[in-house]
Amino acid sequence: MIIDVIILAAGKGTRMVSDLPKPLHPLLGKPLIHYVAAAAAPLTEKPPVVVLGHGSEQIRDSLGEGLRYVIQSDLLGTGHAVQQAEASLKGTSDLILIIYGDMPLVRTQTLEKLVEAQKAHSGPLTILTLMEENPRGFGRIYRDANGAIQAIVEESDATEEQLDIKELNAGMYCVESDWLWDSLAKIPVSSKGEYYLTDLVAIAAEEGASIASVTVADSRELLGINNRAHLAEAGQILRDRINQQWMLSGVSIVDPWTTYIDPDVTIGQDSVILPGTFLQGNTIIGRECLIGPGTRIFNSQVGDQCEIEYSVVEESRLEDGVDVGPFSHLRKGAHLAAGVHMGNFGEIKDSYLGEGSKMGHFSYLGNARVGKDVNIGAGTVTCNYDGQEKHPTTIKDGVFIGSDSLLIAPLEIGENATTGAGSVVTKDVPPDTVVVGVPARKIRRKDQK
Ligand code: UD1
Ligand code: CA
C-alpha cells in the first residue's frame, strides 16, 4: 500500500506573537517542524509533502531538500491547506496521512498505529484522539448514542454540552486518497470563513460511512504548540523523555529538572551529569565523564573520563582524560589532546594543546599550536590580533611559559625553551633557551647553567 504524508505548516501562528514563523521556533535547540518531519518520515517511502504559506522560504531553507513543498497562498484553513497538495498527489497513493506541523512530540509508533488502524478499517478515514481534562482549544469528538463518531466540533462552534466532551481531536488523520480528494471539495465554509479539515468527519458520517479512531495512551504526546507557554510545556515534556532515556542507558543525571540535553546529543555509560548543565547540538560525551555543575557544551566532542566544571565549551574537541574549569571557556576550534589540564578562567580559541599540557590559571590562547607537556603559566596571553589580522603562535614540546608572559604573534617558541615571568616575547625563541624581560631577550641556554 502506497502512503503519502502531508504536513500542514502554512498557518500564521498568530498566537506565538513572533516575527519568526511558528514551525521554526526551537524546542531544545531544534525547530518544531523538524520533529514532526522526523516522526512522519519512516511512514512513507516517498518524501513527505509540507504545505507552507507564512514564512515559506525560511522554513524551506531550514528543512532542506529531502521533502516536497507546496504553497498555500491564502490561508483559508486546514481543509484548504490539504487541497493544495492535490495536484501533486492525486492518483499517486492509496492512503494519505495528514499531520499538523505544530505537534512536535508525536511519536512515529503512534502514527504507525493510526495508519495500521486505517488499513484494517473499511471506512474512508481514521482519526487520532486523546482524552484530556484540559481541552486547550482542541476540537471535540462528537459521538452518537452508540459511540459512533459523528463530527469534530471546533471549540468556537461548540455548544455548552459539547464543550464538556473530554475526547479531543489530535489533528492527525489517515484517509483513503480517492475519498479525500473528492470530499475536500465538499467542505463548507466555517463561521470564521475557513475550510476546516475536521469537517471531513461529518461528511463521512453523513454518507453513512464509519469513522475509526485511535486514542493515544499518553496525551502528553499530543501537545499542540499554539503559544509560547505551550512551547515551554513541550520543552519540559521532551526534556523528561530525553533524560529518562539517558538514565535508563546508564548515565547518572543528578537533577533531571535542571539538566537540558538536546535530542541529538549522545552520552557514554557511567558518565555523571551534574545540575544546571546544558548539552546542546550534536555534542558527544564519552564514558565515565563528570560534567557540570553549571556547564554548557555545544556541538563538541568530549572523550572518555573528562571532567568539565562550571564552564562553556563550544565547537571544540576534548580527547580522553581532559579536565576543564571551573570557569573556563573553550571556543570554536579548541582541541585539547589527552590528559590536558585547563583550570580556572582560561579561554582557548582555534588552538591545539598537546598531550599532557597544562594551563591552570587565567590565560588566553588564540590561533596557537601547543606541543606536549607544555606548562602555560598564569596570566599568559597570546597576542594574536594586531587590529587587522590574526597571527599564529607555535609552542613546541616541553616549553615552560612563565607567569604573565605576553606572546606577540606571529611567534615560535622552540622545544624546551622557557620564558621568564612577565616577559613580553616579540621574537622567535630557539629551543632550550631562556628568555626574560620586556622585550624578552635570551639570557642563557638551558644546558649552560
Ligand atoms: C486544529 C484543529 C482542531 C485540533 C487541533 C489539534 C482544525 C479546524 N482544527 O486546531 O480540531 O484539535 O488542531 O492541534 O483543523 N494550517 C495551514 N493552513 C491554514 C490553517 C492552518 O497550513 O490555512 C496549519 C497550521 O500551520 C498548523 C495546523 O494547520 O500547523 C493547525 O492549524 P491551527 O491553526 O494551529 O489549528 P488549531 O486551532 O490548533
Ligand atoms: Ca494548533
pLDDT attached to residue 447 = 79
Q: Which atom of ligand 1 is nearest to the CA of 80?
A: 23
Going from the Cα of 145 to the center of ligand 2, the distance in angstroms, rounded, reads 29
Does ligand 1 have an atom closer than 6 angstroms to the CB of 142? Answer: no
**Which tens digit of pLDDT belongs to each residue from 73-94?**
999 999 999 999 999 999 999 9
Going from the Cα of 388 to the center of ligand 1, the distance in angstroms, rounded, reads 53
pLDDT attached to residue 448 = 74
Task: Give dist(CA 330, CA 311) in Å, integer.
Answer: 8
Question: Is residue 22 assigned to a domain?
Answer: yes
**Which tens digit of pLDDT belongs to each residue from 258-291?**
999 999 999 999 999 999 999 999 999 999 999 9
At 449, is the pLDDT very low, low, confident or very high (cuts 50, 70, 90)? low
Question: Are both 218 and 303 inside the same structural domain?
Answer: no
Does ligand 1 have an atom closer than 6 angstroms to the CB of 100? Answer: yes
Question: Are both 158 and 196 inside the same structural domain?
Answer: yes
> Is the pLDDT higher at 12 or at 236?
236
**146 has a pLDDT exceeding 90:** yes
Does ligand 1 have an atom closer than 6 angstroms to the CB of 11? Answer: yes
At 372, is the pLDDT very low, low, confident or very high (cuts 50, 70, 90)? very high
**Which tens digit of pLDDT belongs to each residue from 36-76?**
999 999 999 999 999 999 999 999 999 999 999 999 999 99
**Which tens digit of pLDDT belongs to each residue from 296-315?**
999 999 999 999 999 999 99
Question: Are both 12 and 146 inside the same structural domain?
Answer: yes
**CATH number of the domain enclosing 111:** 3.90.550.10
**11-35 average pLDDT score:** 96
Question: Is residue 237 assigned to a domain?
Answer: no
pLDDT attached to residue 432 = 97
Question: Are both 167 and 68 inside the same structural domain?
Answer: yes
Does ligand 1 have an atom closer than 6 angstroms to the CB of 84? Answer: no
Task: Give dist(CA 392, CA 359) in Å, integer.
Answer: 18
Question: Are both 261 and 404 inside the same structural domain?
Answer: yes
- The burial class, CB within 10 Å (0-12 / 13-18 / 19+), for 412 is middle
Percent of the chain with pLDDT over 90: 98
Q: Which atom of ligand 1 is nearest to the CA of 101?
A: 30
pLDDT attached to residue 446 = 85
**393 has a pLDDT exceeding 90:** yes
Nearest CA to ligand 1 atom 31: 100
Mean pLDDT for the chain?
A: 97
Question: Is residue 238 assigned to a domain?
Answer: no
The half-sphere exposure of 348 on its side-chain side, counting CA atoms within 13 A, is 34
Does ligand 1 have an atom closer than 6 angstroms to the CB of 224? Answer: yes
**CATH number of the domain enclosing 381:** 2.160.10.10
Does ligand 1 have an atom closer than 6 angstroms to the CB of 102? Answer: yes
Task: Give dist(CA 359, CA 375) in Å, integer.
Answer: 6
**332 has a pLDDT exceeding 90:** yes
Task: Give dist(CA 130, CA 154) in Å, integer.
Answer: 15
pLDDT attached to residue 445 = 92
Question: Is residue 234 assigned to a domain?
Answer: no
Distances (CA, A) of 209 to 148, 167, 206: 10, 20, 7
| 335 included as an active-site residue | no
- For 344, the domain range is 243-445
pLDDT attached to residue 112 = 98
Nearest CA to ligand 1 atom 8: 196
Going from the Cα of 405 to the center of ligand 1, the distance in angstroms, rounded, reads 63
Question: Is residue 236 assigned to a domain?
Answer: no
**125-154 average pLDDT score:** 96
Nearest CA to ligand 1 atom 29: 8
Q: Which of 132, 297, 136, 131 is nearest to 215 (CA)?
A: 131
